[in-house]
Structure 1
Amino acid sequence: MRASARAHSIDELRALAKRRLPRAVFDFFDGGAEEELTLAGNRAAFSQHHLVPRVLRDVSRVSVDTTLLGKRSALPLAIAPTGAVGFGWRGGDIAIARSAARYDIPYGLSTSATASIEAIAEHAAPSRRWFQAYVLRNRAFTDALIERAQAANYEALVITVDLPVGGKRERDFRNHFAIPFRYTARNVLDFASRPRWALAMLLHGVPEMSNLRGLDSVANNANATASSVGRNYDPSFNWNDLERIRARWNGKLIVKGIAHTDDARRAVSLGADALVVSNHGGRQLDAGMPALAALPAIAAAVGDSVEVMIDGGVRRGSDIVTALALGAKAVLIGRATLYGVCADGEAGATRALDILRDELVRTMQLCGIASISEIGPHLLQQ
């Protein structure tokens, strides 16, 4: 039996990943900014809401499919763009994308992934592919990334707007963790403590962020911190620049990192097709409000004009139901499948989706709900 098959929750997959990875690598994926208040707040926000079940309803059959961006999705869920996955599991980006394709849900590829735009299109077909673009100081480089995604038939472009500078991720500083790796006595001992992980790195070489190949400030700066991509983000990027991207991109446009209603309305006015209420998983601004707390006001502000999604802190099927009841069309998950793939590769990523789907169905049945369309604010304690 594979290790991931013994996991019955996302937290158990997290524990497996923690045992397999060096501390520095695990903390890079698991950690947040500064005191990690926002990271903890994302998770804690779900405990502030309580579902009110209805009984004696026929829930012998439950439908969990929905539509996202005008196409069917087998779950109200998409994979959030997550960078540097290959440092946790060789080929991890493709493994997660294949799991998403198996589940018929969208997969978001990060600019800072360890698989290229083209490799995902080639090896993870027929997945629904979204490309998340960081707007870097080198605007021509960003434009070229977007053109590559267009040529590879990605259906949506995700522009992340909550990263004018990189967050202060203190776990990485304490662990001497950097990308590219900066070897010190501390982290060499850490890496050596996980010989199977280290052997894979030695045999196949340290992964690179394939989409950033040629961006000298990332590829060649040996002192770059783990948030080096954030430090190459253009802090001057503004609404006019977003409008320019909207005009250049022929597909659906998703704006990710919205927390304020005024920003939500403005993004819609510029032609966004969907919004993601997000604080970057607690990895940027610490003490920011939990994404779930920001969701209801944003959903009310934009109404049915666009689809509103949310990420941050989703670990249970009941979390998905709560988010939908508060106005989300779907949730994005990053760490859940990341823990799975770091624990057990593609099997682990698929196990994460298995767990969430099973919990979603079970929660709906226990609430007396037979379809996603029935989920609404009436399910929550008022």
Structure 2
Amino acid sequence: MDRGGARRLSRAATVDDYRQLARKRLPSFLFHYVDGAAGDERTARANLSDLANVELRQRTMINVGSVSTETTVLGQAMKMPVGLGPVGLAGLMARRGEVQAFAAAREAGIPFCLSTLGVCSLEEVSEAAGEAPWFQLYHFRDKHVMAELLSRTREAGVRVLVLTVDVPVSGIRHRDRRHGLTGTIWDHAPQVLSRPRWCWDVAMNGRPLVFGSIARSVPSATKLGDFWGWLSRNFDPTLDLEAVAAVCESWQGPVIVKGIMSRHDARKALDAGASGIVVSNHGGRQLDGVSSSITVLQNIVSEVDGKVPVLFDGGIRSGLDVVRALTVGADMCLLGRAWTFALAAGGKAGLSQFLTDLQAQIANAMALTGAVRVGDLKIAPP
């Protein structure tokens, strides 16, 4: 990165700042893939606005001289109640992007969850880090692919499996169609060449640019469109409670079920044997018109009643947002677009800067709400 780029990155103070830097660095089709959502994107906007409307209680005359953002979820100690959630194609945001993201997460002392649709394979990410990340799994029609993925995940040493249940079919995202998220990178040559730093860093020196963890399952695929076609045919619309229970039973470790938006589905996940759930509408990328994640969180937390950890995603853009979600009842938050923009803006350095600031923001909000420990956020009196 040149001096001008480093200076602009150092001045980034909010996710919107990173978003603007990412927009200038990424080809249009990639920026809109991350930034866009399903339909008219009403749910994606509601995730942001509804979370921003959660009011916090300012509490004073409390000794907050030793605030700690540390917590433990599913037996894993974390320096803050945050994880990097699964994001498809994150490896296109910077050279071997998922490897860089896991490195930043490890330094920050938080989990990183690799998407099934990551550019870097599970083996590459694990080998580079010397340990395995969390792994997000889609339920595919092809049972041989499912068995192979689960076998490789075990062999890599993955402990926490995140099973996504809200993609029986792909959401309809207009921006992907308008900006052409198909073909090869060079089918977007005008866009790519207009971003010479990204072109050099990723398109030329970041290969192979495939879905690393499923590439061997689609050996004939040569471009993104081939993978998207295979995925559209293999997302499993028959996924039901029995199938979720089978994954939970076969996996020798924690299974977090992601994509819960109602008390009813929370009960089903618990009945299936889930070790945790993620309250999530997929960032508004699946069903436009569904409620924002934050508006259903409290009821789901009440239904779960402490039986398993409740994770949250949907609109987290700051440490203040993390604290908002925790005061409503979440145990920790998963980030999506926020960390992806930071990675795109400045690679590992950009993401590390963002995570350092995020932890400081959480600590600041905790102090101003009178919370010395993360658990205090749930029990603050009126």
Mapped partners of 2:343, 2:192: distance in 1: 19
Q: Provide the secondary structure at the position in 2 that maps to 1:164.
A: coil
Give, as a single letter, the amino acid of the residue that structure 2 aligns with 1:139. K
What does residue range 322-361 of structure 1 map to in structure 2 within 5 Å? 322-361=324-363
Give, as a single letter, the amino acid of the residue that structure 2 aligns with 1:134. Y
Partner in structure 1 of residue 261 of structure 2: 259
Percentage of pairs with the same residue: 33
Q: Provide the secondary structure at the position in 1 that maps to 2:144.
A: helix
Instruction: Sort the Cα spacing of 1:225 and 1:91 in 2 relative to 1 into closer, same or farther, 3 A.
Output: closer
Give, as a single letter, the amino acid of the residue that structure 2 aligns with 1:145. L
Quick check: 1:125 aligned with 2:133? no
Instruction: Sort the Cα spacing of 1:78 and 1:205 in 2 relative to 1 into closer, same or farther, 3 A.
Output: closer
What does residue range 196-275 of structure 1 map to in structure 2 within 5 Å? 196-200=197-201, 201-205=203-207, 207-216=209-218, 219-220=221-222, 223-224=225-226, 229=231, 231-275=233-277
Instruction: Sort the Cα spacing of 1:170 and 1:4 in 2 relative to 1 into closer, same or farther, 3 A.
Output: same
Partner in structure 2 of residue 191 of structure 1: 192
Mapped partners of 1:59, 1:227: distance in 2: 54
Give, as a single letter, the amino acid of the residue that structure 2 aligns with 1:336. A
State the shift of 1:5 in Å.
2.1
Q: Provide the secondary structure at the position in 2 that maps to 1:234.
A: coil
Partner in structure 1 of residue 149 of structure 2: 145
Mapped partners of 2:263, 2:179: distance in 1: 38
**Aligned residue among 364, 367, 377 for 1:365:** 367
Q: Provide the secondary structure at the position in 2 that maps to 1:72.
A: strand
Length, aligned pairs only:
376
Partner in structure 1 of residue 138 of structure 2: 134
Mapped partners of 1:225, 1:365: distance in 2: 47
Partner in structure 2 of residue 12 of structure 1: 17
State the shift of 1:88 in Å.
1.7
Q: Provide the secondary structure at the position in 1 that maps to 2:360.
A: helix
Segment of structure 1 superposing worse, 323-332 or 10-19: 10-19
Over the aligned positions, Cα root-mean-square deviation in angstroms equals: 2.0
Q: Which sections of structure 1, spanning at least 5 residues, go unmatched?
A: none
Conserved in 1, the CA contact under 8 Å of 2:131 and 2:157?
no
Instruction: Sort the Cα spacing of 1:293 and 1:230 in 2 relative to 1 into closer, same or farther, 3 A.
Output: farther
Quick check: 1:69 aligned with 2:74? yes
Give, as a single letter, the amino acid of the residue that structure 1 aligns with 2:160. A
1:297-347 C-alpha deviation (Å, 9 max, x unpaired): 110001111000011110011111111111100000011111111011110
Give, as a single letter, the amino acid of the residue that structure 1 aligns with 2:190. L
Instruction: Sort the Cα spacing of 1:253 and 1:18 in 2 relative to 1 into closer, same or farther, 3 A.
Output: same
Instruction: Sort the Cα spacing of 1:379 and 1:8 in 2 relative to 1 into closer, same or farther, 3 A.
Output: farther
Quick check: 1:176 aligned with 2:180? yes
State the shift of 1:108 in Å.
0.4
Conserved in 1, the CA contact under 8 Å of 2:185 and 2:192?
no
Mapped partners of 1:227, 1:169: distance in 2: 15
Instruction: Sort the Cα spacing of 1:227 and 1:162 in 2 relative to 1 into closer, same or farther, 3 A.
Output: farther
Conserved in 2, the CA contact under 8 Å of 1:65 and 1:75?
yes
State the TM-score, normalizing by the size of structure 1.
0.93
Mapped partners of 2:248, 2:149: distance in 1: 14
Q: Which sections of structure 2, spanning at least 5 residues, go unmatched?
A: none
Mapped partners of 1:302, 1:168: distance in 2: 31
**Aligned residue among 154, 159, 172 for 2:158:** 154
Give, as a single letter, the amino acid of the residue that structure 2 aligns with 1:174. R
